[in-house]
Amino acid sequence: MSAAAPLIAIIDWASSPQGDADSSIERSIIGDAAVVKRWLCESDADFDEEICSASAMIVWHNAPIRAAGIARLKNCRAIIRNGVGFDSVDVSAARQHDIAVCNVPDYGTEEVADHAIALAMALCRQLFPLDAEAKQLGWQIRTAPRLRRLRELTFGIVGLGRIGTATALRAKALGFNVIFHDPYLPNGADKALGVQRVATLEELLPQCDVLSLHCPLNEETHHLIAERELAMLRPSAFVINTARGGIIKKAAILAALRAGSLAGAGLDVVEDEPLRSVEEAATPNLIVTCHAAFCSVESKIEMRSTSAKIALAAVAGGALENVVN
């Protein structure tokens, strides 16, 4: 290893580390082309001088990299978000400093779609209340009024990209009537998949028995679902979010669940995650998972391998894949 070898910094989120201390997958791909080191950080405020000297950076979820932190990077050619979403990185600031921001858009498509369907099924079939009743030695099926026949239900999707499409195909196979809204999708996708396109969110929401969100988080979609939109849903509807927490206004959906104006929610992601209080966690008819929809042994290997290959290209002067800015 040359003393002048470039540095690739792996930034793992201190509150919930997902990588391994040895960065074994990344090292197996990068080899001797660069020094690979891992740091645990809450945000770019934790960056030390060594991190700021890195030629490329791989960033795990929920560790925000904002303009102030980006301005401190001296040699960085690429920031690679270890996942699909890149809202945790200030892409405009990176562009101003001539730093590419890359993501891994396709690594967990199956897992996230499976997770969305699992949450929908748990709500439609009331698995958790039934489990709790059975374990209390009861057998009254008190939740019977919420149990639904899938082929009588409409499954509404917002965002028909890779994961939205995979979710639509799964929902269709289960017998749901599938509809979707995506203003950026070219014409014809509905015909190719055999699902119904809806022109506006306002038209979609009143038809949904299950609403599943699969859009990115940006200025347009921040609080896309808030008090007004939740009021358009049927009181018997269920909301699923495996995309980004900020798409749903947390205070609004928790209030709707407490008031009984929404039948249930399955949230893999929440605004300002994780949940912040015992009161939030006690919200009725709420299933919350730990931003884990992407997670499987296979998907994490695929994601980390792809990020490492992009980082290797960055330090070797090669072409970069999946540039989002």
The residues carrying an active-site annotation are 244, 273, 291
Rounded CA separation 261/239 (Å): 12
Rounded CA separation 313/323 (Å): 12
- Quick one: 16 exposed, middle or buried, by C-beta within 10 A (0-12, 13-18, 19+)? middle
Q: Which H or E run includes 52?
A: helix 49-52
Residues 6+ positions from 109 with CB-CB distance below 8 Å: 162, 163, 166
Which residue blocks in 211-324 are alpha helix, DSSP H?
Answer: 227-232, 250-259, 278-281, 297-316
CB burial readout 197-234, b (16+ within 10 A) else e: bbeebeebbebbbbbbbbbbbeeebebbbbeebbebbb
Helices and strands per DSSP (H, E), number in the chain: 13, 12
DSSP codes joined into one string, 310-323: HHHHHHHT-PPSSB
Which residues face 267 on adjacent strands? Answer: 241, 288
- 37: tokens are 């080191």
Among left, alpha and beta (phi > 0; psi -120 to 50; other), residue 151 is alpha
Rounded CA separation 128/193 (Å): 32
- 208: tokens are 């949904």
Alpha carbon of 189 to those of 181, 202, 208, 236: distances in Å? 11, 20, 20, 29
